[in-house]
Chains A and B, each alone.
Chain A
Amino acid sequence: DAGVIQSPRHEVTEMGQEVTLRCKPISGHDYLFWYRQTMMRGLELLIYFNNNVPIDDSGMPEDRFSAKMPNASFSTLKIQPSEPRDSAVYFCASSLRQASDEQFFGPGTRLTVL
């Protein structure tokens, strides 16, 4: 398996623009997680899905952030409108059968909002 795939790897945008990050989990994994990593806050969980259904979105910072998982092999994290404080590395991860199972991380998307 190719592992968790994320795109783009780098994104530079201007404040106010819409940003869409994409993730393809490992085939057969039931759980998908979105994390954000910043120097100030470290790695924090934003939202996770089980079988395409959002289970816990308590980490989503505000309404500007939304995540979807239309099918088992694809998820998006959208920020609209983006702000400079959204600059961070966004990771996607997946696990096999339970949220507490071993997680496998993608390479991350480095987002810079100017």
Chain B
Amino acid sequence: GIQVEQSPPDLILQEGANSTLRCNFSDSVNNLQWFHQNPWGQLINLFYIPSGTKQNGRLSATTVATERYSLLYISSSQTTDSGVYFCPDSWGKFQFGAGTQVVVTP
């Protein structure tokens, strides 16, 4: 199956800072989704983004399918952004990577 590599593996931010998370894939991106798993374990849908750019408030995502990567931008980070971010892609079923652990400090 398709392999996903997320970077950085860990990120510590001060509240208000901006950051970019990246996912690289072993093959052309098919159906990519960004999730945020909050510290309570809940998996929250952020974006369904097979290609192009989407924005939702302080978050935006860009996927370049032919270049096999996707980016998640977090602007003006808040402590509620803490958690793990996943970007599974699917060739019939989602394959999750290790995620990026984000800690936003006050």
A residues apposed to B, CB below 8 Å: 33, 42-45, 48, 56, 89, 91, 99-105, 107-108, 110
The contact size tier of chain B is 20 to 34
0/1 string, B1-44, CB within 8 A of A gives 1: 00000000000000000000000000000110101000001110
Q: Are B96 and A100 in contact (CB under 8 A)?
A: no
Pair B92/A99 contact, Cβ less than 8 Å:
yes
**A44 neighbours in B (Cβ, 8 Å):** 96
**A7 to B15 alpha-carbon distance, docked (Å):** 35
Q: Are A56 and B93 in contact, with the CB atoms below 8 A?
A: yes
Supposing A89-B41, A105-B43, A107-B42 touch, asked if A100 and B86 sit within 8 A by C-beta, the answer is no
State whether A42 touches B98 (Cβ < 8 A): yes
Residues of chain B within 8 A (CB-CB) of A99 are 90, 92-93
Q: List 19 A-B contacts (CB under 8 A).
A: A33-B93, A43-B88, A43-B96, A45-B93, A45-B94, A45-B95, A56-B93, A91-B43, A100-B30, A100-B91, A100-B92, A100-B93, A101-B31, A102-B33, A102-B48, A103-B33, A103-B45, A108-B41, A110-B41
What is the CB-to-nearest-CB distance from B95 to chain A, in angstroms, rounded to a whole number?
A: 8
Which residues of chain A are near B42, meaning CB under 8 Å? 105, 107-108
- Chain A residues with CB under 8 Å of B48's CB are 101-102
Count of A-B contacts with CB under 8 A?
Answer: 47
Q: Is the interface of A mostly helix, strand, loop or mixed?
A: strand
Which residue from A42, A91, A105, A108 sits with its C-beta under 8 Å from B99?
A42
Contact residues in A for B91 (Cβ distance below 8 Å): 100
Q: In the complex, what residues of B have CB within 8 A of residue A105's CB?
A: 35, 42-43, 45
Within the complex, the shortest CB–CB distance from A107 to chain B, in Å, comes to 6
Report Cα–Cα, A99/B99, bound state, in Å.
21
Q: What A residues does B97 contact at CB under 8 A? A: 42
Chain B residues within 8 Å of A100, by CB: 30-31, 90-94
